[in-house]
Amino acid sequence: MRNGDRTVRCFIAYPEVPNKAHAVIVIHEIFGMTDWVRGVVDQLAEAGYIAIAPDLLSGMGPNGGGSEALGGPDGVRGVIGRLPPDQITSDLNAVAKYVTALPAADGTVSVGGFCWGGSQAFRYATNNKDLQADCVFYGTAPDSAEAIARINCPVDGFYGGNDARVGATIPRTKEMMQAAGKTYEPVTYPGAGHGFMRTGEQSTDDSNPNRKARNEAWARWKEILAGLKSN
């Protein structure tokens, strides 16, 4: 997909449905584009949505490569924190424009992000007034009342009870969102750690707190999206 002079590589999956579908932009973790992120896209398509995950590290690796060219998690982390915010926003805007214009799309879009991508999803809501929903998985909010005031959609937060670093930001986020008259619904899953959507998927024990949180969060995400479809 093109964004001006940038080529942004994306992974996209389509649902098997008879009608045009809502689109969901998936923003990857700090690990960049991974098989797990592609799995999230596939699961959203299975639930009835067009899902697309851009590799926001496209062109940032050696020889113009993306996440796969950066030598693993350490290499990705060394680059992802230096991505220009305006470039991230521009890439996401290009993705939103592309996916909502697809013949199979109904023209509506929401966003969901994880970890680093959760924070980017929250920030993106301050830059795209057309989002129908913003699902933030263990990400933090922009610390700017001016930015928060630009949010035009409900924000639903998904947090782990054992994720003290991110959890400590929730009260401040509640205050800022309430002061701005914005809708913010955080849910904290007891016993779950940071990254529970990934680690919970790796467990087969339904009593495992991360597994339990992952299953409950997926059900909640799909319920939010189903509510959008009925509007």
Per residue in 34-54, pLDDT tens?
Answer: 999 999 999 999 999 999 999
Q: How far apart are CA 39 and CA 28, in angstroms?
A: 11
More confident residue, 131 or 71: 131
72, pLDDT greater than 50: yes
For 129-156, how does the pLDDT look when each residue is reduced to its tens digit (9 = 90+)?
Answer: 999 999 999 999 999 999 999 999 999 9
Q: Is it true that domain 2-229 has CATH number 3.40.50.11030?
A: no
Hey, where are the domains in the chain?
Answer: 2-229
Cα dihedral across residues 6, 130, 100, 28: positive or negative: positive
Q: What percent of the chain has pLDDT over 70?
A: 99
CA distances from 39 to 144, 194, 211 (A): 33, 19, 16
230, pLDDT greater than 70: no
Cross-strand bridge partners of residue 50: 23
pLDDT given for residue 149 in this prediction? 98
164, pLDDT greater than 70: yes
pLDDT given for residue 229 in this prediction? 59
